[in-house]
Copies of this chain bind each other. A is one copy, B any other.
Amino acid sequence: MKLTYFGVDNIPMVEPGDDLVDLISEALAGMGESLQENDVVVIAQKIISKAEDRYLDLRTVEPGEEAIRLAEEVDKDPRKVQAILDESNDVVRARPGVLIVEQKGGFVQANAGIDQSNIMQGDGDPDELCLLLPVDSDASAEKIRQLIAQRHNVNVGVIINDSLGRAWRMGTLGLAIGVAGFTALEDYIGGYDIYGRELQVTQVGAADEMAAGASLVMGQTTEKTPVVIVRGYLPAEPDDEALRGVKPLIRPRDMDMFR
């Protein structure tokens, strides 16, 4: 099996309302490339959020009591803490300089994925500007998948990825926060090993493995490659609708020993 990851060059700066499918198709055409059947299109969360105008001006945020208290504890701007709380289900860890939450989509991550780097909007002060995660990353991914099918007549998978910190290990890892068109969690329950023994470890975070591989190609210091095409492997879409999207990758809270 051979998998190729290639960055889509020359995606322009994304502005609210931009049609990402058009931007990606045009950039691919500029490379002499086009989307092919069974490609997976990995898109950085940041340009999805920009296209969906998920900017938040901190000057419009009024921190409440909990945010003010928590901001002192974690030594952050109370307005930003309020924004984080607004985007979260739960606070997982709060320490000076660190605020790890369960973001509304179920992702355990620092600052609810709210980002202040590589953003600039109109004549706004970049220090006052935040970018929130998409409202529903699975829906964003599915919309892009459908637009690609309609316009280009190819069936692709879509991953929206983001760089997340993690327990036990240093360094962020690109992980899937939105998935469309294929199985995010591959399930080998009932599978057998090469000696016919029933497999013990049975679930593989396939979309995360792909998102991580793509993240390496995206790089981190510039925003020049926010889209990566993965060519060579598209796991089938699950029949069961409940198993679609990124949700199967989220460990239910009551099954999580590390909250």
**Could you list which residues of chain A lie within 8 angstroms of chain B, going by C-beta atoms?**
1-7, 93, 95, 98, 100, 107-108, 116-120, 126, 163, 165-175, 185-186, 188, 191-195, 197, 199-201, 203-206, 208-210, 212-217, 219-223, 225, 233, 248-251, 256-259
Contacts and interface: CB of A to CB of B under 8 A. Distances in A.
B185 A204 contact: no
B256 A168 contact: yes
A107 B186 CA distance: 24
Given A169-B175, A172-B201, A212-B173, A191 B4 contact: no
28 contacts: A1-B6, A1-B7, A1-B217, A2-B5, A2-B7, A2-B217, A98-B257, A108-B168, A117-B200, A118-B194, A118-B195, A119-B195, A120-B195, A126-B195, A126-B197, A167-B256, A170-B249, A170-B250, A171-B185, A171-B186, A173-B208, A173-B212, A188-B220, A191-B220, A199-B220, A201-B220, A208-B212, A217-B233
Given A1-B6, A117-B200, 8 more contacts: A2-B4, A2-B5, A167-B257, A186-B220, A191-B220, A209-B212, A212-B212, A213-B213
